[in-house]
């Protein structure tokens, strides 16, 4: 908002002004800043779900399955396991021989020694047992198998 500065009535000189208007440059107009921030917020809200990428696994169906609480360790075994012998610990792709050491590192600070296995339903039982053996070698006490609820 401009300031109005009053001058003295008889300050001398031929050119006297009754009032003069000066602008204050210290004020910041925040409306464009808020507009830009809201546009950036909307862009990030739309783009964030697109950045999340997971491993596609077709889960087997079980008639008695329950929902799991959060904060669990998941090992994903995709269909490509039969070719490359790689599993996903969280979002990290690791080879099967390195799985026991990585699981051992995760289990050091945890009280529950549980891991949940999301294995593709099209893989055979031997592949499942190979992953079980490596998890047990890493110090896992209980291995749970994640399944889908049946469609009703």
Q: Is the pTM of this model over 0.85?
A: no
- List domains and CATH numbers for the chain: 74-145 (3.30.420)
Q: Is 34 exposed, middle or buried (0-12, 13-18, 19+ CB in 10 A)?
A: exposed
pLDDT at 97: 92
- pLDDT > 90 fraction of the chain, expressed in percent and rounded: 23
Length of the chain (residues)? 152
Per-residue pLDDT reduced to its tens digit, 62-110:
776 655 444 788 899 999 998 999 999 888 899 999 999 998 888 887 7
């Amino acid at each position: 908002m401009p300031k109005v500065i009053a001058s003295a009535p008889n300050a001398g000189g031929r050119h006297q002004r009754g009032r003069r208007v000066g602008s204050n440059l210290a004020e910041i107009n925040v409306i464009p800043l808020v507009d830009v921030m809201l546009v950036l917020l909307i862009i990030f809200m739309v783009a964030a779900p697109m950045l999340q990428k997971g491993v596609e696994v077709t889960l087997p169906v079980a008639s008695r399955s329950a929902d799991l609480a959060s904060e669990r360790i998941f090992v994903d075994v995709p269909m490509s396991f039969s070719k490359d012998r790689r599993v996903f610990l969280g979002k990290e792709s690791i080879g099967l021989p390195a799985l026991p050491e990585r699981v051992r590192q995760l289990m050091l600070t945890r009280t529950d020694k549980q891991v949940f296995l999301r294995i593709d339903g099209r893989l055979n039982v031997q592949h499942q047992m190979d992953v079980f053996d490596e998890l047990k070698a890493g110090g896992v006490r209980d291995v749970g198998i994640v399944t889908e609820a049946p469609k009703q």
